[in-house]
Amino acid sequence: MYYNSINGMVNTAIAEIKGGPLAPQIYGTVTFSDMPGGTEVFVEIWGLPPYKPAENNEAPIGPHGFHIHEFGCCQVGDPYNPFECAGAHWNPTNQPHGNHAGDFPVIFSNNGYARMTFFTDKFKPIDIVGKSVIIHQNPDDYRSQPAGNAGKRLACGVIYSLC
Ligand SMILES: [Cu+2]
């Protein structure tokens, strides 16, 4: 089911993102397109929460940590700590955080709306079918282990093959 009939490859994979109980207004898509040497990732998200600066030793809300997680599960579970069933970061080559195959740029909100495109050579779309995409409450610091201190999980989407 992960292969198309033309060339046997997954050319495109997609995750439909939905917010959980901490940010139910979030929705959008993350699209993974096969490119020479890797994958182009296109992100379009609506309904992100308002930016809140760091205060009282609490992390700012936004820009939002953004990763591929290892399991294709977006069941809410604990509403105060949702989407734990997505597991840890997808890290097939056992790298430190900051260099996980599923470590992505943070998502910048523009009054709730975000759009970006980036390229990664760390995987092809077929490699991530059946995993998940998570948007976090706080920024990724790209050095705290194992997950960049990005905080709670606001939104989730399971990655599936489009063609
Ligand atoms: Cu994450």
**Spatial separation of the C-alpha atoms in residues 44 and 128, rounded to whole Å:** 19
Residue 5 C-alpha to ligand 1 middle, in angstroms? 33
**126 sits in which H/E element:** helix 125-128
- Does residue 98 fall inside a structural domain? yes
- Does residue 93 fall inside a structural domain? yes
Number of domains, the chain: 1
SS3 for 61?
A: strand
Between CA 21 and CA 23, with CA 22 as vertex, the angle to 5 degrees is: 95
pLDDT per position as a tens digit, 120-132: 999 999 999 999 9
CATH code of the domain containing 153: 2.60.40.200
- Does residue 137 fall inside a structural domain? yes
- Does residue 29 fall inside a structural domain? yes
- Does residue 67 fall inside a structural domain? yes
**pLDDT level of residue 89 (50, 70, 90 thresholds):** very high
Residue 6 C-alpha to ligand 1 middle, in angstroms? 34
Predicted confidence (pLDDT) at residue 63 exceeds the cutoff of 80: yes
Tell me the residues surrounding ligand 1 (ion) with CB < 5 Å.
Answer: 67, 134
SS3 for 85?
A: helix
Residue 87 C-alpha to ligand 1 middle, in angstroms? 9
- Does residue 80 fall inside a structural domain? yes
State both tokens at 39: 């994958």
pTM exceeding 0.85: yes
Residue 36 C-alpha to ligand 1 middle, in angstroms? 26
**pLDDT level of residue 139 (50, 70, 90 thresholds):** very high
Residue 16 C-alpha to ligand 1 middle, in angstroms? 16
pLDDT per position as a tens digit, 27-36: 999 999 999 9
Cβ–Cβ < 8 Å for 155, 147: no
Predicted confidence (pLDDT) at residue 1 exceeds the cutoff of 70: no
Q: 104: domain range?
A: 12-161
- Does residue 2 fall inside a structural domain? no
pLDDT per position as a tens digit, 40-51: 999 999 999 999
Residue 154 C-alpha to ligand 1 middle, in angstroms? 10
**pLDDT level of residue 8 (50, 70, 90 thresholds):** low
Asked, as a colleague might, if the bond just before 146 is cis with ω within 30 of 0, I would say: yes
State both tokens at 138: 């706080």
